[in-house]
Amino acid sequence: MRTSLTLLCAAVICAGAVARSAAVDPAALVLRLSDLPIGFLQVSDSGTVSNAGAADGGGPALLARLSRWGRTVGYESHFIRVRPQRGIPEGPVEIRSLASVYRTATGAAASFAYARRFLVPTSFSPLALGFTIGDAARQYVGGGLSGESLVYILIWRKGRVNASLVLSGRLGELSAGDVAPLARAQQARIVAELGHGGRG
């Protein structure tokens, strides 16, 4: 599960580059600790995602696609919730926020279309979005490695940026309603950074 989700999100977010990408900081396109509810810590594996890292598990064919789509670099932030003494609180216990920049919106759109067709785990089901985000978006839900866990995946595109969120939690404690506020917070960061670094 960890490998397939990472591959999906890396390919969605990292399949593009920007002609003016030097002015766009990929780390500014993802969630920060201040965007999350109290009780989360950022995991040390957060950081830059290279082309090779994005294609890991997808073979040379995916790496070639990333190059063709014009990818430069992506970024992932990984957070976990600290378990309080009285048990696990409601909401997600793990959050992954990813984003990548593309040369053009066309390249981003091609990557987005590929990811939703071929990289979403077959065990996951499409889930209607109750809110609007970006130029295109898809949401999925499925079980985690544990039979008592639940995972929501949201992928979307805003101009030349592809983004994704992966929320994991326990059945009965995590819901689709937990996705929207985090997605809006990340989208706000994307819009702000694109406005700073150039047109989206």
pLDDT above 90: residue 40? yes
Contact (Cβ atoms closer than 8 angstroms) between residue 155 and residue 9: yes
The gap from C-alpha 134 to its chain's centroid, in whole angstroms, comes to 13
Mean pLDDT across the stretch 141-166?
A: 90
The confidence score (pLDDT) of residue 82 equals 87
CA 121/CA 85 separation, integer angstroms: 34
Res 5: pLDDT: 56
Q: What pLDDT does residue 43 have?
A: 94
**Rounded-to-integer distance, Cα 185 and Cα 66, Å:** 27
Supply the CATH number for residue 49's domain.
3.40.1000
* Mean pLDDT, rounded, for 142-159: 89
| Per-residue pLDDT at 20 | 38
Cα separation of 23 and 198, whole Å? Answer: 7
Domain count, the chain: 1
Asked if residue 90 lies in contact with residue 5, where contact means CB atoms within 8 angstroms, the answer is no
pTM of the predicted protein model: 0.84
Tell me the average pLDDT across 1-27. Answer: 52
Q: Which of 31, 32, 100 is nearest to 66 (CA)?
A: 100
Determine the structural domain holding residue 16 and report its residue range.
2-197
Q: What Cα–Cα distance (Å) separates residue 50 from each residue in 11, 71, 105? A: 11, 9, 20
Q: What pLDDT is attached to residue 45? A: 86
Q: Cα-flanking dihedrals φ and ψ of residue 30, to 5°? A: -120, 170
Average pLDDT value for residue range 5-29: 57
Confidence bin at 104 (pLDDT 50/70/90): confident
Q: What is the mean pLDDT of residues 124-138?
A: 96
Closest listed residue to residue 88, CA positions, set 192, 6, 198, 170: 170
The pLDDT assigned to 7 comes to: 52
Average pLDDT score over residue span 96-113: 92
Give 77's contacts (C-beta < 8 A, 6+ positions apart). 30, 31, 32, 42, 46, 96, 97, 98
Nearest to 108 by CA among 65, 76, 61, 58: 65
